[in-house]
Chain A
C-alpha cells in the first residue's frame, strides 16, 4: 500500500480501525469489512443517490456526532462510524415505519422492516404502492445504459417514474436493465412493438445478453449476444467487464473465419425441428400452453428454467396433457416422410410426465406407433401399463373452446384437442391443460447452401444424399466428403452415433492410405484448342475444373474428376475430351458395330 502516492484516510467503523482511499464512501468501506448496512436506493454501478436514507449511520467528526447516509458520505480522516448504534437503529425504524405507511405490500420493505422488528406503523396507512421512488431505474437507464428513457415526473408526494413526456420512449432499447435493478418488481418489460427484449419469465429462449449458450456447451464459456448487449448498442453499461476479476471480457472480439487444409470432410450438420406455427390448426404461438416437444425438454430438464417442474403459463401444474404425434411429419401438406424419432421421444415425454405428476391424464394421439429397435417395443408396452391413454388417430386441431357436440366437458379453462379415434370410429374432443406437439425433423435451413458448397447432392426431401444407400451409406459423390447423422435423414441417437463412427472410419481409411485411386476415365483439356471461356467450370458438378491464369485455359483436376462428361458436352470449342472416349474412338466403335 505504501508505494501508492494516494493518501489513505484513517477511520474507525464499529470499533474496527481501518483505512480508506480519498473519495470512498462509508458504505464502500463497510462492504469491504462485511459490515451490513441496509440500502434500498443503492446499487454499486450507479452513482450514490441518498434518497431512501435507510443506510443512515452515526458519524463522529471532530467530536461532533451527526447522522449521515453511508452511501453518499465520503470518508474523512479520523472519523468514527457507528453503523448499529441505538440511535441509528431507532432512526432506521422510524424511516421504515414511514415506508410501511405507503408500501405495506412491498416485499423488500416488509422484509427489511421485519428485520428491524417493525411490523406496524404509527403513520396513517395508505393503499400500498409498489414503486418506492428509489430512482434506481431512472439512474441505471441514464448512467449505465445511456438511453435516458426514464425520468421522474412531478415532484413531492406526486412524484413517479415514467418515460419523458409520458410517451412511448424512442430511446428505450428494451434492455430490461430497469426491471432488473427495481428492488420491488414494479417494472415489467413488455414487448409492445416487436422490439427485441430479454426476460426470463418462462424463458424458453436466451435469458440474458451474456450467457452460456446451453448447460452442456463446450467450452462452457459465456458469450455475449451482440443484439441484446447494452454496451454493443449504446456504448454504456460495461458492468460485466467491471465485475470480471480475470478481466476476460473482450467487447472487440469478432467472429473470425479460419481456413484449414484437410484431407477429408464429414458433414454432420444435423436437422431442425418443424416449426408448428406453420400448421395453424394447432394454435402454437396463439394459444397458451401449446408447446413443442423441444420446449418440453427444456422445461423438464433439472437445470432448466423451472428447475424441472412442469408448469403452465399461470404457474400451476397441468393435470391433463395431450401429446400429438406426427406434427409436420407424414403429412402431405408439409413433410411426407416419417421423422422416425418422434414416437419414441413422445413415449419418453409421457413417461416423464407420469413420473412428475402421477395423477395426470396423459394422451398420446398417434397414427401408428413405430417402435422398431432394441428394447423400444418393450418401452411402449411399459407405457401402456403406466396408464397412458393411447388414441389411434392424429390430432387435427387444438382450440380454446369445444367445437364438437360430443366433446368431453371439463371444469375451468381448457384446451380442446380434436381427433378421430380410428379404433372406435368416433370423432373425439379432449379437454386438456397442456398440449405438446411432437414436431418432426427437417433439413437445416442452410442445407441447400451446404450441398452447393461441398458439391454434393440432396434428396427430394432436402436431406443430403449418400453415394449408395447400401454399399456406400456414408460416402457422397464427392470423394473425401462424408455424411453422418440427421444431415442424411432423420434418425435417432444410436443410429447417428453408428453412422458417425462409420463416416469417421471411412475418412480415416482415406487419410491412412495416403493416396487416392483415380478414376480411369477422366476428362482432359487440349491446351491448344481451349479458348479459356470457363463454360466447363460452370457445368462441372464436382468442382474439378480450375482456371490457369497464366495460360488462360481450363485445367482439370484428375483426382476430383468423376468422368461424368458434362464438360465434354458443354465445351463450345471441343477442347475437352474423355480419356478413351474421344470422338474418333466412339466413331470407330460405332463404325465397328454398324459394320458387323
Chain B
C-alpha cells in the first residue's frame, strides 16, 4: 500500500473502500465491546463465522460497543436494520437462516421491555437509542475497528485531508475555536483556546498528548471509543498537530485497557501504512507520529501534570499548575493534552464545520457528550446525548427509569470527584457549568444512578475511600484530610457518628477543596459536600437515630422474616452461612414451618433476601434487637 499523498488520492481511495463495502448486500454487526464479550460475544462471533462459512454476500463485523450493554450481546442485521438482543450461540443458525437468507424478523430476539407487550425492532425505535444523538459513537456499530478501510469508507480521514491540504493551521484553530469545543475530560476547558495558547507558547518542540487514563469507577466512554473507532482519535490528533504545530504525539492508555490498546496499536500501524502518520503526511510537509505509553494503574496519572511526570518515566505526581501545561508540560515544553473524546470530536468539526457543531447542545456547551449510564437504572450502557439534555431524560427516557420500579434517590455525575444530585436536580440541563453550579461536575462522563435502597453516606464513603486510596500523598490536605474524612464517614456508617461530625465534615471538606495541590485533591470532598448539601437528613438519621434510610449500612440494619409473607419454604435457611435462620415451632405454613432470623447471629450478608421467592425477608433500620423482634412477631401473629 503506497502512502497517500494528495486530497484526490484520499477521495478516490475512500470511494473505493465504500464501493467494496457496498458489494455486500447483507451486513451482520455483532457488538464485540468489552461488556458484550464478557457475556458471550466471543463465542457468538465464532458461531457466526462458522455458520456464514465464508459467505461472500455477508459482511460480518465484530464492531465496537453499540451502547446498550444491559441487553447484550447485541447483533444488528442490515439492511433489515433490526437489533437482536441477548443473543446466544444457539440463535445464530436461526438468524442466518431466517433473517439473512429470507429477510424475516425473529420476534423472539427483539427488545421487549417489561411485560406490556411492547416490542422494538429497529435501533431508532428503541427508547434507549431514540433520544441519543450519536457523533463520536456514530460509526461504532458500522465499522470493524481493526479495518482502516471501513473507516475510510465512511469518509474517515476526509477531515484530515481537508485540514492539511485545504486549510491553514490558523483556519483549523479558528474552526475549533468557533465550534466552542470544550475538553471532555472533566474540566471543560475551551479546547480552541488551549490549542492557540500551546501554539503561541515559546518553545522549540510541542507535544500533542491524548489522555486515555480513564480511571473513574463505572466509566468506560473512552475505552469504547478507542475500541470501537480508534482512527477517529488518531485523525483528531493529527489535525491537532497541524493546527498547533506539534512535533510528536503520545497516547497515555491505562494498562487495564488491553483491548483498547490492541485496537489502537493496530490502528496506528494502519495509519502509518496509508500515510496518515509519519513523515510528510499527505504531502503537506507535516511530520507527526504517535507513541503509546501505558499507565501503571494510578488514578492520579489522569491529572495532566502527573501524567507528564509518568510519561517522562518519573513517579506520577502532580505539581503546582500556576504555569499552564500548554507552556510547560511534558519535559517542561509546550504540551497540548486532551482526552480521547475531545480528540474524537475534532474530525467531525473539521468535516462538518463549527456551525453544525454549535447546532448541537447548548450555547456554552455545544456538541454531544458520551456518558456511561450505570447503577440502579433499567437500561445501563453507553450513551451519547446532546448537551443540555436533562438528567430526567437521561435517567428515565434513555435509562428507562429505576430498576424494579423503585424510587429514584440520586445520580452521581463526574465520577469519584463529582457529586450526588437529588431528584430536585433532575430537570437540570446537563452541561459543564450547570452541573458545577449544582455542586457536582461533568467529569469525564460517568453517571451512576441510585435508587431508594442506596445509602448516600455509604456512597460518599465509597468514593472518599477510593480517592484516599488513589491520593498520591504529596500534599498534606489531600493525604491527611481525606483520611480523617474517611474515618468520620466510617464512624457514621457504623452508627458511631457524633453530632459535631457534620460540621467537621463540611469544614474539613472545604479546607481540602481550598488548599489541595491538584484537581484530584480539590474535587475530592465533592461526594461528601454534595451529599451533605442535598441529603443532610440521611446523615442526621445515621448519627442521631442510628438509622440508615437506604438500609445499607450493616451496623444499622437488621434482617427479619415477615410472617405475613413467609410460606415456610425454607430456602433462606439453606443459604444462611451462619445458621441464623431457624424454624419457629408450631407455626406451620404451606410447605413447612415459619422461619425467624436470630439477629444476634445474623451476619447481614443478604443471602436469604436474595433467595426468598416471596420477598418475605425485610430489612429494618435502625437495627431491632431479638427480643424486640420476637415481640413484633408475636404482635404480627
Q: Which residues of A contact B (CB under 8 A)?
A: 48-54, 56, 67-69, 72-74, 91, 94-95, 98-99, 101-102, 122-124, 133, 135, 151-152, 154-159
Contacts and interface: CB of A to CB of B under 8 A. Distances in A.
B477 interface: yes
A159 B300 CA distance: 14
B319 to A, nearest CB: 7
Given A69-B320, A91-B511, A156 B479 contact: yes
Contacts of B514: 67, 91
Interface of B: 298, 300, 315, 319-320, 322-323, 468-477, 479-481, 483-484, 487, 504, 507-508, 511, 514-517
A99 B517 contact: no
Give the 7 A-B residue pairs with the shortest CB-CB distance, closest first: A159-B473, A72-B320, A156-B471, A156-B473, A94-B511, A50-B320, A53-B515
Contact of B483 (A53, A68, A72, A157): A157
Nearest to B469: A156
Nearest to B514: A67
Contacts of B322: 68, 72-74
A526 to B, nearest CB: 81
B480 A50 contact: no
Given A95-B511, A124-B487, A155-B471, A101 B320 contact: no
B364 to A, nearest CB: 19
A94 B322 CA distance: 23
Contacts of B476: 51-54, 95, 98-99, 133
Nearest to B473: A159
Interface centre among A50, A72, A123, A155, by most chain B C-beta atoms within 10 angstroms, is A155
Contacts of A156: 468-473, 479
Chain B interface main SS type? helix
A86 to B, nearest CB: 14
Contacts of A95: 476-477, 511, 515
Contacts of A48: 320
Contacts of B471: 155-157
A67 B504 contact: no
Contacts of B515: 53, 56, 67, 69, 91, 95
Given A50-B319, A51-B517, A99 B480 contact: yes
Contact of A157 (B319, B479, B511): B479
Contacts of B472: 155-156, 159
B511 A158 contact: no
A157 B480 contact: yes
Contacts of A68: 322
Given A54-B476, A67-B514, A155-B473, 5 more contacts: A50-B319, A50-B517, A91-B514, A94-B508, A122-B504
A49 B322 CA distance: 12
B480 A51 contact: no
Contacts, number: 91
A424 to B, nearest CB: 68
B477 A101 contact: no
Contacts of A73: 320, 322
A91 B298 CA distance: 29
Nearest to A90: B511
B507 to A, nearest CB: 7
B517 to A, nearest CB: 5
B511 A51 contact: no
Contact of A98 (B315, B320, B468, B477): B477
16 contacts: A50-B517, A51-B474, A51-B475, A51-B476, A53-B477, A54-B476, A56-B515, A69-B320, A73-B320, A91-B514, A95-B476, A98-B477, A98-B481, A101-B480, A124-B484, A124-B487
A98 B474 contact: no
A342 B34 CA distance: 89
Contacts of A52: 475-476
Contacts of B473: 133, 152, 154-159
A94 B514 CA distance: 11
Contacts of A54: 476
A366 to B, nearest CB: 63
B517 A98 contact: no
Nearest to A152: B315
Contacts of A154: 473
A18 B455 CA distance: 54
B121 to A, nearest CB: 51
Interface centre among B323, B480, B484, by most chain A C-beta atoms within 10 angstroms, is B480
Interface centre among B315, B469, B471, B473, by most chain A C-beta atoms within 10 angstroms, is B473
Contacts of B323: 74
A94 B477 CA distance: 9
A101 B472 CA distance: 19
Contacts of B319: 49-50, 72
A123 B427 CA distance: 39
A469 B461 CA distance: 94
Contacts of A69: 320, 515, 517
B490 to A, nearest CB: 11
Given A74-B323, A155-B472, A102 B480 contact: yes
A51 B480 CA distance: 12
B528 to A, nearest CB: 15
A95 B323 CA distance: 25
Interface centre among A51, A74, A91, A101, by most chain B C-beta atoms within 10 angstroms, is A51
Interface centre among A67, A68, A99, A157, by most chain B C-beta atoms within 10 angstroms, is A157
A133 B315 CA distance: 15
Given A72-B322, A152-B315, A157-B479, A101 B484 contact: yes
A53 B319 CA distance: 12
Nearest to A73: B322
B381 to A, nearest CB: 33
Nearest to B477: A53
Contacts of B479: 133, 156-157, 159
A416 B533 CA distance: 74
A223 to B, nearest CB: 38
B475 to A, nearest CB: 5
Contacts of A99: 476, 480
Nearest to A124: B487
Nearest to A67: B514
Contacts of B475: 50-53
A382 to B, nearest CB: 63
A402 B322 CA distance: 69
Nearest to A50: B320
Nearest to A123: B484
Nearest to B474: A51
Contacts of B517: 50-51, 53, 69
B484 A98 contact: yes
A94 to B, nearest CB: 5
Nearest to B298: A155
Contacts of A151: 315
A82 B507 CA distance: 22
Contact of A135 (B468, B474, B481): B474
Contacts of B480: 98-99, 101-102, 123, 157
Nearest to A132: B476
Contacts of A49: 319, 474
A74 B487 CA distance: 36
Nearest to A75: B322
Nearest to A93: B511
Contacts of B487: 124
Nearest to B315: A152
B328 to A, nearest CB: 11
Contacts of B508: 94
A135 B315 CA distance: 13
Contacts of B484: 98, 101, 123-124
A149 to B, nearest CB: 15
A135 B472 CA distance: 13
B395 to A, nearest CB: 33
Contacts of A94: 507-508, 511
A56 B476 CA distance: 12
Nearest to A52: B476
Nearest to A53: B515
A94 B516 CA distance: 13
